[in-house]
Each structure stands twice: as C-alpha cells, then as structure tokens.
Amino acid sequence: MQQNDKAVLVYVTYPGVEAAEQTGAALVDMGLAACVNILPGMVSIYVWEGARQRDAEAVMIVKTRATLADRVVAETLRRHSYETPAVLVLPVEGGSPRYLDWIFGQTANPAPVDPSDPSVSG
C-alpha cells in the first residue's frame, strides 16, 4: 500500500443491471476493485437538455483504493453507454479494519496499464 492511500467508493449509475454487471465484473477481474455492489430498481429524476426526466436505473458502488480511482473512472467511462454518466469518487473515512485491509489486499496487484489505451492516463 502506498503511503496515505485510502479506501474510496466509486458511485456510478447505469441504465440497467446488465450493463453495471459487465463493467463491475471487468473491474474486479482487472484487480481495480475489490468488490462491486449493484443495486437495481433506482428511480432517477433529473433535468437533461432542458426537460425533466424520470428513468429507472441501477447503481454500482465500486470498492477500491484512492490510487486506483482514476483508472476505475477511466475504465468505467470507456465502457459506459451514457454521454455524461454519474461517476463520483467518494472518500471512506473509516470502517472495519479487517474489511479495509481486505479491499487493499484484493487491489494490491491490478492489471498493468495498457500504454496503447488512450482512455487510461496511468
């Protein structure tokens, strides 16, 4: 673990569970996330292009570390179908020490960055 590295949650909305599962599985398989939780059945109300919208969505919560957050965001945006998806990195201020250690253990050896992939800035 790098000095001052902390756990973070990455909150992402999707049009449905299937799209969230595809990205979530990839993040876990790449070692960028220890775990993802996908919550179906959310209703979003927002204004887009001047009109109020109401959509059914799913939420994905990614459990990772701060030093991987930029890669998680880049990979999520690369795979996402929305023009402007909600992707937020939220700090974790505390929690179960054993669980936090597990997050760091699961994300200790992420897949190497592909230098030919322009969506990843390292």
CATH code reported for the domain at 7-106? 3.30.70.120
- Please report the pLDDT score of residue 116 as a whole number: 67
Per-residue model confidence as pLDDT tens digits over 44-86: 999 999 999 999 999 999 999 999 999 999 999 999 999 999 9
d(CA 90, CA 61): 10
Q: Contact at 8 Å (CB) between 25 and 38?
A: no
Determine what percent of the chain is predicted with pLDDT higher than 70. Answer: 91
Give the tokens for residue 100: 């936090």
| 117: confidence class by pLDDT, cuts 50, 70, 90 | low
Q: Contact at 8 Å (CB) between 60 and 20?
A: yes
What is this structure's pTM? 0.89
d(CA 72, CA 65): 10
